Structure 1
C-alpha cells in the first residue's frame, strides 16, 4: 500500500551575514573603543594619586565639538542623498563634511597651542599628558576618516556613489559617525574629569 506524503515547505532561516569589509570595520571600531576605554580608565586611576594639575580646558575644544557634530549632520545628508541617487547633493554634502573634518583637525592644533599658552605641556604632569594623548590619538583616527572622505568625494565626483554602490558610503558614514561620537564622549569625559 502506497502512502501519500505531503511535503511542507518550511521557512528557511537565512544566516546572519555581513560584508567582510564591514565586519573588519566593526572589529576595528571595537578595538578603538577598547583603547579609549583603557585610556579613560587609566586617567581616572592616575587622577586619584593626588599630584594632578587642575587646568581649564582649551576653549577651542567647544568649537571643535560643534564642528564634529555639524560634520556628522552633513555626512548623514550625503548618505541619505546617495540612497536616493541625488548625486549633486552627495557631492556637496561630502565636500562640506571633508572641509569640516579638516577644520576640526586645525581646531585641535589650536587647542594644543592654547594648552601651551596655559603652561600645560605633554610632559611635566600626567593631567596634561592625558589631554594630549586623548586629542592626539583621536586626531590620528580622524585623519584616516578625512582620507576616506576625500576618497569618497573623488568617487562621488566620478558619479560612483549612488544607490547601487553603497558599501563604501555606508562604511565611511559609519566610521565618521563613530569618530564624532567618540570625540563627544572624550570631550564630556574631559569636562567632568580635568
Structure 2
C-alpha cells in the first residue's frame, strides 16, 4: 500500500467528524445546563423532587435499544440484511417506547403539581430532560431514514458509514440519558 493510500485510511470520514463536533457541542450544552442547575439549587426557593419510577423503566428501554443498534451494526457488516432490518425495527420500537415512557413520567409530574412554571427547579427538570427528548426524536428520525433505506428496493448500497454514525449517535443519547438520570438523582 502506498503512502497516499495509508494517509487516506487514517483520516476520519467527514460525516464521522461532523458527528463528533455535534456531540461535543451537545455535551457542552448539557454541561452548561447541569452547571446552572447546581448553582441555582442553592436558592432559597429551590424545591427538591423525586424522579418518577417510570424514568427508570425508560432507561431500560434506551439501554436495550443501544444493544439492538449495536447488533444491527454487526449484522450490517456481515450483510445479514434480514437480521439488520429486524434489529432496526427493534431499535426504533425501543426508542419510541423510551419517549412514550418519558411522556408518562412527565404526565405524573404534572399531575402531582410539578408544572413547568411553578418553580425554577421544575423548569430545569423540564428543560434538561425535554432537550434530551428532542435529541432522541432527532435520532429516531435518522433511524427512520436508515430503516427506509434498509427496505428500499432501489438502493443496495453497503456503505457502513451511515450505520456507524447512527449507532454512535444513538449510544451517545443513551449515555447522555444515563448521565442526566444519575445527575438528577444525586444533585437534588
TM-score normalized by the length of structure 2: 0.92
Q: Describe the SS at the equivalent of 1:48.
A: coil
Q: Describe the SS at the equivalent of 1:14.
A: helix
Q: Which of 55, 74, 83 lines up with 2:77 in the alignment?
A: 83
Q: Within 5 Å, which residues of 2 pair with 1:42-121?
A: 42-121=36-115
Q: For residue 8 of structure 1, what is the aligned residue in structure 2?
A: none
Q: For residue 178 of structure 2, what is the aligned residue in structure 1?
A: 184
Q: Contact 1:152 / 1:161 at 8 angstroms: preserved in 2?
A: no
Q: Contact 1:91 / 1:156 at 8 angstroms: preserved in 2?
A: yes
Q: For residue 15 of structure 2, what is the aligned residue in structure 1?
A: 21
CA deviations over 1:74-115 (Å, ceiling 9, x no partner): 010100111111111100000010011111111111111011
Q: Contact 1:87 / 1:161 at 8 angstroms: preserved in 2?
A: no
CA distance in structure 1 between the aligned counterparts of 2:49 and 2:169, rounded to whole angstroms? 32
CA distance in structure 1 between the aligned counterparts of 2:167 and 2:44, rounded to whole angstroms? 41
CA distance in structure 2 between the aligned counterparts of 1:60 and 1:193, rounded to whole angstroms? 19
Q: For residue 172 of structure 1, what is the aligned residue in structure 2?
A: 166
CA distance in structure 1 between the aligned counterparts of 2:118 and 2:110, rounded to whole angstroms? 12
- Structure richer in helix, relative to its length: 2
Q: How much does 1:161 deviate?
A: 7.2
Q: Describe the SS at the equivalent of 1:50.
A: coil
Matched, 1:144 2:135: no
Q: How much does 1:149 deviate?
A: 0.6
CA distance in structure 2 between the aligned counterparts of 1:19 and 1:62, rounded to whole angstroms? 36
Q: How much does 1:158 deviate?
A: 2.5
- Structure 1 runs of 4+ aligned residues shifted over 3 Å read 159-162
Ranges in structure 1 where 5+ consecutive residues have no aligned partner: 1-10
CA distance in structure 1 between the aligned counterparts of 2:23 and 2:49, rounded to whole angstroms? 31
CA distance in structure 2 between the aligned counterparts of 1:125 and 1:106, rounded to whole angstroms? 25
Q: How much does 1:135 deviate?
A: 1.2
CA distance in structure 2 between the aligned counterparts of 1:134 and 1:66, rounded to whole angstroms? 19
* Number of corresponding residues: 184
